[in-house]
């Protein structure tokens, strides 16, 4: 079982997501959930999860998207899901104007995507001209920064409306760049915001499989920042699993598996574990973009990068438009009855957080929150106090309460801090609409700085501002 230290000094059990816990009891009231960016691929899964909660007294779902066509299609899909779950489809409403439906919401789920497909190639191809090779490019580096510059102002406007229309709502954010989004919200909004990712629960399961131990028997502690959180403790029956995993990693790096298995080499994370002594929560493709060591030369790319999430160059820019088309096709087929609707409740955190609060049944998960709240001291002692961290949290009747982790090992904390400085300036740039702060953020980005001079970084940033000016209103 996974444990994390709470602020009250006792242990909070982090229940494995694969158990899909169904908590006893019933809701004490009907609730309302508003999904913002409802055209997202998250929506069918998350709404099915919510409507699958046992014992709910009725869940009103409000769907919001600025794209009327995608919203209308999703409205039909979610109504079908509601009907399949024995719920009243009339409880599912939709609007392109969030202000018409947000009032009285108990929960806001944010899955917004600003600009759709229009900036995907700019985020990848302009940095590529300057020698910066990205795999995903939506949470850090030039691509992640500019996604934040486009998205954060919209998010803050949503939160401003929420402060007036539903000030008691909990905001569950799924939109990247996770750290910058939650950081900007923590600085500029009074709403309760927690960022939800898949990294911790997915990686924990992956490590149990690699170590060949039951996940239910795994004991671990994990903290850091989104996509760069460290499993500082990883044990089975009191013995560390790291000696075994490090031996395996060295063998894997020396003798790579041929053929299709290349996708699962996970070479960057294995190499980091060998040198730093702990495993990191996100895929090698994401992680490689947070570090200065792996994507700056052709020989390093050839040695460490493998297909897809293993680090492939330009993977997200190439494949995300394909995923979007496939998602749109699935929706049409679902409405036509040609494909099944979502079945079992998924492992996503959102519905379990809602259930825990409404039933007052404590539930532990890992979330992205501000490191220091109301002068109570930092959750991770040697990370930036005015930063966003990913730590164990407890959900119950009182909402979401993050837990204190203590200090990370110094070398792990230093890697997190190098990226937190980028996010600090990136959030500032988005809040203040400052071009200069955005340039400064990329001056400090570990991968960008490993490849480019200061003058080159400035030129690249200004070129990206010109290319994406349609979605960067008010920056000066």
pLDDT digits (tens, 9 = 90+) for 280-339: 999 999 999 999 999 999 999 999 998 899 999 999 999 999 999 999 999 999 999 999
Say which of 107, 215, 242, 290 is annotated catalytic: 290
Q: What percent of the chain has pLDDT over 70?
A: 93
User: Is 107 a known active-site residue?
Assistant: no
The reported pLDDT for the residue numbered 26 is: 87
Contact 318, 324 (CB under 8 A): no
Same structural domain, 167 and 62 = yes
Query: Which residues share a beta bridge with 240?
Result: 235
Given pLDDT bands bounded at 50, 70 and 90, which one contains residue 256?
low
Is it the case that residue 423 has pLDDT exceeding 90? Answer: yes
Same structural domain, 161 and 298 = no
The reported pLDDT for the residue numbered 18 is: 36
Q: How far is it, in rounded angstroms, from Cα 78 to Cα 44?
A: 6
Which SS3 state, helix, strand or coil, does residue 72 take? helix
Is it the case that residue 1 has pLDDT exceeding 80? Answer: no
Return the CATH number at 345. Answer: 3.40.50.720
Same structural domain, 16 and 107 = yes
Contact 79, 92 (CB under 8 A): yes
Is it the case that residue 79 has pLDDT exceeding 90? Answer: yes
Same structural domain, 207 and 345 = no
User: Is 198 a known active-site residue?
Assistant: yes
Could you give the number of structural domains in the chain? 3
Is it the case that residue 133 has pLDDT exceeding 60? Answer: yes
pLDDT in tens, 182-192: 999 999 999 99
Rounded to 10°, the helix 435-444/141-165 angle is 130
The reported pLDDT for the residue numbered 258 is: 55
Q: Is 282 part of any domain?
A: yes
Q: Is 133 part of any domain?
A: no
Report the pLDDT averaged over residues 69-73.
97
The reported pLDDT for the residue numbered 261 is: 52
Contact 86, 58 (CB under 8 A): no
Which SS3 state, helix, strand or coil, does residue 55 take? coil
Give the distance from CA 33 to its chain's centroid.
20
Is it the case that residue 451 has pLDDT exceeding 90? Answer: yes
Whole-angstrom CA distances from 136 to 233, 272, 302, 387, 446 are 28, 19, 17, 23, 16
- What is this structure's pTM? 0.93
Looking from the CA of 102 toward its CB, the CA atoms found within 13 Å total 26
Q: Which domain holds residue 249?
A: 200-315
Query: Which residues share a beta bridge with 194?
Result: 172
Same structural domain, 146 and 255 = no
pLDDT in tens, 8-46: 332 233 333 334 455 678 898 999 999 999 999 999 999
Task: Average the pLDDT over each of 78-82, 89-93, 346-350, 389-393 and give the range with the smallest value.
Answer: 346-350
Is it the case that residue 355 has pLDDT exceeding 90? Answer: yes
Query: Which residues share a beta bridge with 173?
Result: 110, 195
Same structural domain, 71 and 186 = yes
Say which of 130, 198, 236, 443 is annotated catalytic: 198
Q: Is 460 part of any domain?
A: yes
């Amino acid at each position: 079982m996974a444990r994390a230290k709470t602020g009250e000094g006792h242990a909070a059990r982090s229940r494995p997501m694969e158990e899909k816990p169904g908590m006893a009891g019933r809701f004490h009231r009907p609730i309302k959930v508003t999904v913002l960016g409802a055209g997202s691929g998250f929506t069918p899964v998350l709404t099915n999860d919510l409507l699958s909660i046992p014992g709910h007294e009725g869940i009103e779902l409000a769907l919001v998207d600025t794209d009327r066509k995608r919203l209308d299609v999703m409205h039909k899909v979610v109504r079908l899901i509601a009907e399949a779950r024995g719920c009243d489809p009339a409880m599912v409403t939709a609007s392109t104007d969030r202000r018409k439906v947000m009032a009285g919401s108990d929960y806001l789920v944010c899955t917004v995507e600003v600009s759709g497909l229009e900036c995907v190639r700019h985020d990848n191809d302009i940095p590529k001209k300057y020698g910066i090779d990205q795999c995903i490019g939506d949470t850090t580096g030039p691509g992640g920064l500019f996604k934040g510059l486009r998205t954060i102002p919209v998010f803050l406007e949503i939160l401003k409306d929420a402060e007036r229309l539903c000030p008691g709502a909990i905001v569950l954010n799924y939109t990247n760049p996770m750290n910058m989004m939650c950081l900007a919200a923590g600085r500029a909004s009074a709403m309760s915001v927690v960022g939800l990712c898949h990294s911790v629960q997915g990686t924990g399961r992956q490590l149990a499989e690699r170590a060949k131990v039951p996940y239910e028997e795994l004991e671990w502690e994990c903290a850091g920042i989104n996509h760069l959180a460290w499993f500082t403790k990883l044990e089975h029956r009191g013995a560390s699993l790291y000696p075994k995993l490090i031996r395996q990693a060295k063998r894997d790096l020396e003798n790579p598996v041929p053929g299709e298995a290349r996708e699962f080499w996970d070479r960057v994370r294995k190499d980091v574990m060998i040198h730093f002594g702990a495993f990191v929560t996100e895929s090698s493709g994401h992680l490689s973009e947070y570090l200065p060591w792996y994507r700056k030369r052709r020989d390093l790319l050839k040695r460490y990068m493998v297909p897809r999430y293993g680090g492939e160059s330009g993977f997200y820019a190439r494949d995300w438009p394909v995923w979007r088309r496939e998602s749109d096709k699935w929706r049409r087929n679902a409405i036509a009855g040609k494909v099944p609707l979502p079945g079992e409740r998924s492992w996503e955190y959102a519905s379990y957080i809602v259930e825990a609060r409404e039933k007052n049944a404590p539930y532990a998960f890992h979330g992205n929150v501000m490191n220091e709240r109301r002068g109570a001291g930092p959750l991770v002692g040697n990370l930036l106090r005015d930063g966003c961290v990913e730590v164990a949290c407890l959900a119950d009747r009182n909402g979401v309460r993050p837990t204190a982790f203590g200090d990370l090992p110094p070398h792990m904390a230093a890697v997190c801090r190098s990226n937190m400085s980028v996010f600090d300036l990136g959030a500032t740039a988005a809040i203040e609409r400052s071009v200069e702060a955005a340039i400064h953020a990329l001056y400090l980005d570990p991968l960008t700085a490993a490849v480019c001079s200061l003058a080159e970084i400035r030129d690249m940033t200004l070129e990206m501002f010109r290319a994406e000016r349609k979605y960067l209103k008010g920056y000066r």
